[in-house]
């Protein structure tokens, strides 16, 4: 059995590349490790078989020397070369990599010239002017470092949902495989699909609590055991998040699952409803309330949460909706929405290739979309103003359009590529290309990538001007937020939604775990105004098409159904939906 999985190997390769850059090794050696990391990251086959069968060399970018190191690390969990390399640097130096905007070159320079090896030392040097005085840095760089340090302190103990999901679900599946475990789930904010979570709550039903608890605390994903008991244990996983295990009986399971799923406000509403019916409800049971003035209705056996909601005379409420935002009233009135499912998606837009800052070619992205069973894929590389992302000028963009048309001849009739672009919204609200260029595309995603500090009124006017262009099909990542890294820019979201409704502009739900933007809290308003959603992964390589799963969770939290999401439309219908805005303006 492998000691390290693919994600852990990718993390190792990236760490070695950073260490080599700190050490000042030649660029080709560094690139060998980063290329290997990217190759494995995008590998979708059986990683364990790749190692056991000695086929690592079949993966592009991995030579014999790296094959030997990766195999050793995956099989033993250790790599002396890495440990030796890491020992050449102060351990605290690696904390600096966690700060936004701080890479190996800057860290190396500050270490060598200012002896900065900790975040506290960096903060002091930024405040006393030493960092600003370094050649190539300046006061703005020092201020940016201070902002990153403040953000790190603010977000300590918080984790993006999409970045803890794989480890959490792996642990859950292995708990479920225990013969002694009859049921298991992750509750809490994770089950409600909150974009940021603080811990993980595992609920397990078993007649052998000691076995489940022992398995949990001794799991290979556990870094530290914080507490260990027969029915409750707490650990810290290797990604830093705390995970709690609660072991209950089969009879207690539905109550515990509902209670620990939350939210707190939702639970209060349910307990209040239970009292009104003559019951008392807690995490272990639903029972007659001795103080009730009425006789409670007949109670059947509670096997599942569905039974529990039914006993409270409510339709079943999906976990994503349990935020006390009208879901209990809707469940009583039988008006809960039929929430969108991942399998409802037929395609997606906002995807990048190697033409700009993506790491997979046009053809590779198309092949990956086909493998996922999608009927279409939109390509929207960056526009020319995003120079840091190798944005396309008009000539390169039109070359890509021509190539997409060639490929569509091969793919027809079962699959289609749509030609698009992620077009920068400039500071004054104009766009990166002329209307003549934009008119030659199947669709346009318009996004803000610079000048984030505008006042709210100016930023709002900027975006409204952009989406008033008939060629702008959809608005990308509306608030520009990067979860746990960058706050949203100041923008009047309701005003943008009103403008999108008036102009017929689709609003993106960016499914990247760093973004999940537009925020789920705004989608009920958008839905009310008739604004359609497009769930887009913002994929920069083939594996990131899987981020659609993150977007589905956020869409469900926003009460969205398949009818509210444009990319549930199949080929033959999606074309008209993409062109509807242009026709609306033409006929006006």
pLDDT tens-digit map of 331-385:
999 999 999 999 999 999 999 999 999 988 999 999 999 999 999 999 999 999 9
Nearest to 419 by CA among 380, 390, 391: 380
> Tell me: domain 159-250, CATH 3.30.460.10, correct?
yes
- Tell me: pLDDT of 204 over 90: yes
Confidence of residue 28 (pLDDT cuts 50, 70, 90): confident
- Domain covering 342-587 in this structure, CATH number: 3.20.20.140
How many angstroms separate the CA atoms of 398 and 434, rounded?
13
**Residue 523 tokens, joined:** 């989608």
Of 43 and 287, the structure prediction assigns the larger pLDDT to 287
- Tell me: pLDDT of 1 over 80: no
Q: Identify the pLDDT of residue 147.
A: 87
Q: Identify the pLDDT of residue 447.
A: 98
Question: Residues 160-175: what's their mean pLDDT?
Answer: 94
On average, the pLDDT of the chain sits at 93
Query: Where in the chain do CATH 3.20.20.140 domains reside?
Result: 342-587
Q: Identify the pLDDT of residue 339.
A: 98
Contact status, residue 204 vs residue 184, Cβ threshold 8 Å: yes
Neighbours of 484 (CB within 10 A): 18
Q: Identify the pLDDT of residue 250.
A: 95
Q: Identify the pLDDT of residue 531.
A: 98
Of 156 and 233, the structure prediction assigns the larger pLDDT to 233
Q: Identify the pLDDT of residue 304.
A: 96
- Tell me: pLDDT of 98 over 90: no
Q: Identify the pLDDT of residue 23.
A: 86
- Tell me: pLDDT of 61 over 80: no
Q: Identify the pLDDT of residue 90.
A: 87
Of 97 and 350, the structure prediction assigns the larger pLDDT to 350
**Residue 345 tokens, joined:** 């998606």
The CATH class of 265-332 is alpha beta
Neighbours of 49 (CB within 10 A): 9
- Tell me: pLDDT of 480 over 90: yes
Contact status, residue 397 vs residue 442, Cβ threshold 8 Å: no
Question: Residues 515-540: what's their mean pLDDT?
Answer: 98
How many angstroms separate the CA atoms of 372 and 363, rounded?
14
Confidence of residue 25 (pLDDT cuts 50, 70, 90): confident
- Helix axes of 362-371 and 394-411: crossing angle, nearest 10 degrees: 40
**Residue 180 tokens, joined:** 């002694």
Q: Identify the pLDDT of residue 583.
A: 93
- Tell me: pLDDT of 228 over 90: yes
- Tell me: pLDDT of 569 over 90: yes
- Tell me: pLDDT of 297 over 80: no
Q: Identify the pLDDT of residue 541.
A: 87
Q: Which residues of 391-429 are buried (b: 16+ CB within 10 A; e: fewer)?
A: bbeeeebeebbebbeebbeeeeeebbbbbbbbbbbbeeb
Looking at domain 6-154, its CATH superfamily turns out to be DNA polymerase beta, N-terminal domain-like (1.10.150.110)
Q: Identify the pLDDT of residue 551.
A: 97
Least confident of 37-46, 238-247, 440-449, 468-477: 37-46
Confidence of residue 158 (pLDDT cuts 50, 70, 90): very high
Q: Identify the pLDDT of residue 153.
A: 86
Query: Where in the chain do CATH 3.30.460.10 domains reside?
Result: 159-250
Least confident of 50-59, 129-138, 313-322, 532-541: 50-59
3-state secondary structure of 359: coil
Query: Where in the chain do CATH 3.30.210.10 domains reside?
Result: 265-332
**Residue 65 tokens, joined:** 């020397």
Q: Which residues of 501-510 are buried (b: 16+ CB within 10 A; e: fewer)?
A: bebbbbbbbb
Of 101 and 156, the structure prediction assigns the larger pLDDT to 156
Of 231 and 2, the structure prediction assigns the larger pLDDT to 231
């Amino acid at each position: 059995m492998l000691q390290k999985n693919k994600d852990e190997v990718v993390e190792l390769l990236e760490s070695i590349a950073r260490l080599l850059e700190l050490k000042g090794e030649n660029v080709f050696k560094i690139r060998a490790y980063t290329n290997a990391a990217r190759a494995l990251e995008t590998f979708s086959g059986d990683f364990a078989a790749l190692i056991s069968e000695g086929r690592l060399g079949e993966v592009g970018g991995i030579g014999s020397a790296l094959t030997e190191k990766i195999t050793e690390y995956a099989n033993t969990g250790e790599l002396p070369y890495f440990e030796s390399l890491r020992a050449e640097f102060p351990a605290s130096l690696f904390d600096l990599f966690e700060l936004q905007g701080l890479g190996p070159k800057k860290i190396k320079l500050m270490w060598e010239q200012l002896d900065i090896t900790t975040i506290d030392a960096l903060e002091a040097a930024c405040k006393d002017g030493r960092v600003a005085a370094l050649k190539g840095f300046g006061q703005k760089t020092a201020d940016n470092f201070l902002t990153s340090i403040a953000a790190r302190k603010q977000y300590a103990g918080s984790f993006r949902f999409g970045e803890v999901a794989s480890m959490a679900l792996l642990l859950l599946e292995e708990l479920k495989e225990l013969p002694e475990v009859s049921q298991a789930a992750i509750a809490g904010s994770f089950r409600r699909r909150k974009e940021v979570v603080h811990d993980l709550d595992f609920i397990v039903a078993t007649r052998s609590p000691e076995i489940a608890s022992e398995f949990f605390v001794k799991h290979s994903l556990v870094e530290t055991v914080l507490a260990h008991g027969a029915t409750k244990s707490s650990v810290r996983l290797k990604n830093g998040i705390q995970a709690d295990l609660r072991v209950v009986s089969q009879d207690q399971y539905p109550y515990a699952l509902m209670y620990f799923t939350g939210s707190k406000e939702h639970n209060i509403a349910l307990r209040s409803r239970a009292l009104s019916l003559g019951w008392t409800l807690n995490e272990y049971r639903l029972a007659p309330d001795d103080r009730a003035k009425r006789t409670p209705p007949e109670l059947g056996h509670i096997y599942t949460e569905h039974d529990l909601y039914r006993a409270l005379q409510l339709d079943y409420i999906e976990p994503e909706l349990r935020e006390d935002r009208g879901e209990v009233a809707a469940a009583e009135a039988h008006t809960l929405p039929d929430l969108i499912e991942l399998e409802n998606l037929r395609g997606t837009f906002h995807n990048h290739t190697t033409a700009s800052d993506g790491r997979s070619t046009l053809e590779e992205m198309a092949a990956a979309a086909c493998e996922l069973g999608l009927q279409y894929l939109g390509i929207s590389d960056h526009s020319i103003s995003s120079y840091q992302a190798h944005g396309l000028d008009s000539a390169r963009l039109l070359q890509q359009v021509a190539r997409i048309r060639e490929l569509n001849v091969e793919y027809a009739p079962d699959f289609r590529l749509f030609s698009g672009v992620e077009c920068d919204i400039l500071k004054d609200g104009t766009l990166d290309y002329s209307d003549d260029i934009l008119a030659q595309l199947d669709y346009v995603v318009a996004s803000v990538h610079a000048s984030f500090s505008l006042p709210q009124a100016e930023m709002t006017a900027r975006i409204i001007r952009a989406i008033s262009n008939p060629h702008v099909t959809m608005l990308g990542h509306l608030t520009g937020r990067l979860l746990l890294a960058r706050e949203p820019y100041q923008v009047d979201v309701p005003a943008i939604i009103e403008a999108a409704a008036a102009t017929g502009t689709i609003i993106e739900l960016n499914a990247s775990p760093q973004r999940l933007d537009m925020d789920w809290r705004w989608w009920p308003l958008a839905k009310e105004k008739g604004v359609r959603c497009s769930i887009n992964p913002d994929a920069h390589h083939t594996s990131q098409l899987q981020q659609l799963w993150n977007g589905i969770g956020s869409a469900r939290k926003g009460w969205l159904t398949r009818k509210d999401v444009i990319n549930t439309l199949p080929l033959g219908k999606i074309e008209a939906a993409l062109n509807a805005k242009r026709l609306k303006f033409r006929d006006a």
